[in-house]
Amino acid sequence: MTPDLTDILSKTNLLRSVPAEDLSALAAASRLRTFGRGQVVFTRGDPGDTVIVVVSGRVKVVVRSADGGALTLAIIGPGGVFGEVGVADGGPRSSDAQTLDESRLLLVPREAIQEICARVPAAAQALTASIAATLRRLTDAAADLIFLDLPRRVAKMLLSQPSGDDGAIRLKMSQEELAHQVGGTRQSVNAALRDFERRGWIDSRDRIITVKEAAALSRFARTELSAS
């Protein structure tokens, strides 16, 4: 079944204020592509010539070191948008993007977004807000890397995940993927999770982590290192 691209664009924070006729033209200029699990969407240095909307699946945005280390900057799910920084400066990609699941992605030309932002002030404001939100998130992540030890970064990341219908937080993610999100190794993340499980704060089985004591985990994440 072919998705309604205009409807998809209208539900994004970036383009929800754009008139319907402009969204229809934008949808016609865009390309819908299917990517397999683990497929590279773009790499650092590629032209930043599209804004990408996740129609289905998940995409991780990651930076990599020369020795193979990786730090996941964001995981984008359905309805999310990434790559919008290139609209502002026309520069190349500053990170890699790779699918975590089989995904359908809508690639929207940068020039088309720029043209709409020039005519629709609300769209330009939404673009500015999106870039500002990215900057705030990266600033918070940098502060965590500097000021929090790894177990507290793991605790904070677990608590940041959405809860299910029953109120429980369940994380279906490999320890390697989790390590890439908190800037650690698989071994160090595994040690932190074992400690949390020993304290009764989480339950981990079949690659699903369930937070059982969110309040205790939250207190631990906020505790100053000097007091631990």
126 and 169: one domain?
A: no
Specify the CATH number for the domain of residue 176: 1.10.10.10
Has residue 70 been placed in a domain? yes
Has residue 143 been placed in a domain? no
Has residue 124 been placed in a domain? yes
Has residue 30 been placed in a domain? yes
33 and 127: one domain?
A: yes
118 and 223: one domain?
A: no
Has residue 126 been placed in a domain? yes
125 and 189: one domain?
A: no
Domain endpoint, select from 119, 138, 157:
138
11 and 39: one domain?
A: yes
89 and 154: one domain?
A: no
Strands 96-99 and 40-42 turn out to be: antiparallel
Q: Do 106 and 59 meet the contact criterion of CB atoms below 8 Å apart?
A: no
20 and 92: one domain?
A: yes
Considering its fold, how many domains does the chain have in total? 2
Specify the CATH number for the domain of residue 94: 2.60.120.10
Q: How many CA atoms lie within 13 A of 214 on its CB side?
A: 12
24 and 119: one domain?
A: yes
61 and 126: one domain?
A: yes
Domain endpoint, select from 116, 138, 160:
138
**Whether pTM exceeds 0.85:** no
Domain endpoint, select from 138, 169, 198:
138
34 and 110: one domain?
A: yes
Question: Which residue range forms the structural domain that includes residue 82?
Answer: 5-138
pLDDT of 107: 97
pLDDT of 204: 82
193 and 94: one domain?
A: no
Query: Percent helix, strand, coil in the chain (nearest 5)?
Result: 45, 25, 30
38 and 72: one domain?
A: yes
Reading the chain (228 residues) residue by residue, the pLDDT tens digits are 668 999 999 999 999 989 999 999 999 999 999 999 999 999 999 999 999 999 999 999 999 988 878 899 999 999 999 999 988 888 999 999 999 999 999 999 999 999 999 999 999 999 999 999 989 988 998 888 888 999 999 999 888 887 777 667 777 777 788 888 898 888 999 999 999 999 999 988 777 788 889 899 999 998 754 444
Distance of alpha carbon 1 from alpha carbon 7, whole angstroms: 14
For 57: left if phi > 0, alpha if psi spans -120 to 50, otherwise beta; the answer is left
